[in-house]
């Protein structure tokens, strides 16, 4: 039932009641009474309409207020739920971001460590290469020196052989001549002595080498003292010691 139906119902009730209150009659009094009744009914209807309008306004206002309160509470609840959901999502996203940041920092530290290791390794490799180059040059120098010493030793050995061979031959001839003179009583001929004269200087050097060697001098010291090569001195010592053995 809407407001219009309520108003019409009230008016019908008032008219029905007024029909019993108005007396039956004719003339001016009847018209006047009807006019007064009509005015009174109009006032009653107006007051009733005003009361009903006020009630309707209050009802509508209260309904609107209730609806607004319900809507506000619903919106507040929905807002709180949305805020909580957004907060939880934000915390989740922030946690993932923090985790990713930690992983990135860890990877960055690993990269820095690898970079430092590579730099150290490169420095070590470069240092080893330099050391290898220096060692290679030293080996080449030692090799050249060894080759030169070997050539000098071979030359000194050849020279020593040439110097020692006549001395050995002369010493052997001298020993044989001395033995023959002792056995036969003949005079010693001058020919071995003449042969020894050609090798006397070599024999003296050999004796000097052996004498200094017996005194404990090293081969280098003997070579310096007699102005000979170390290889030559070593060869004479080896040959004489081998002969004695």
**Mean pLDDT for the stretch of residues 146-169:** 67
Domain end, chosen from 31, 55, 81, is at 81
Structure tokens at 239: 């040959």
pLDDT band at 224 (very low <50, low <70, confident <90, very high): confident
Domain boundary among 63, 81, 99: 81
Write phi, then psi, for 24 (nearest 5 degrees). -80, 135
Structural domain for 72, as ranges: 3-81
**pLDDT at residue number 68:** 86
As for how many domains the chain has, the answer is 2
- CA angle in degrees (0–180, nearest 5) for 112-117-118: 95
pLDDT for position 192: 45
Residue 104 maps to a domain: no
Q: How far is CA 69 from each of CA 15, 55, 62, 63, 174, rounded to the nearest angstrom?
A: 42, 20, 10, 10, 150
Q: What is the mean pLDDT of the chain?
A: 74
Distance CA 46, CA 20 (A): 21
Q: At what angle do helices 28-184 and 200-214 cross, to 10 degrees?
A: 120
Domain boundary, last residue among 51, 81, 111: 81
| pLDDT tens digits, 168-194 | 555 556 555 555 555 544 444 444 444
CB-based burial of residue 33 (10 Å sphere; 0-12 exposed, 13-18 middle, 19+ buried)? middle
Average pLDDT of 201-220? 80
């Amino acid at each position: 039932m809407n407001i219009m139906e309520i108003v019409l119902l009230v008016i019908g009730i008032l008219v029905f009641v007024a029909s019993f209150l108005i007396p039956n009659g004719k003339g001016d009094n009847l018209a006047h009474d009807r006019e007064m009744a009509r005015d009174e009914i109009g006032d009653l209807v107006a007051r009733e309409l005003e009361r009903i309008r006020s009630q309707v306004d209050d009802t509508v206002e209260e309904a609107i207020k209730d609806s607004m309160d319900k809507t506000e509470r619903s919106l507040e609840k929905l807002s709180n739920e949305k805020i909580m959901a957004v907060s939880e999502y934000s915390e989740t996203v922030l946690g993932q971001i923090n985790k990713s940041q930690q992983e990135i920092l860890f990877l960055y530290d690993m990269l820095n460590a690898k970079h430092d290791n590579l730099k150290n390794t490169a420095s070590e490799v470069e240092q080893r290469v330099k050391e290898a180059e220096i060692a290679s040059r030293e080996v080449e120098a030692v090799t050249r020196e060894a080759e030169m010493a070997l050539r000098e030793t071979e030359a000194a050995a050849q020279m020593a052989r040439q110097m020692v061979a006549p001395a050995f031959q002369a010493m052997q001839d001298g020993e044989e001549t001395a033995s023959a003179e002792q056995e036969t009583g003949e005079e010693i001929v001058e020919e071995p002595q003449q042969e020894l004269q050609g090798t006397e200087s070599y024999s003296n050097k050999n004796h000097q080498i052996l004498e200094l060697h017996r005194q404990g001098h090293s081969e280098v010291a003997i070579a310096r003292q007699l102005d000979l090569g170390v290889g030559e001195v070593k060869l004479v010592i080896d040959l004489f010691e081998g002969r004695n053995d």
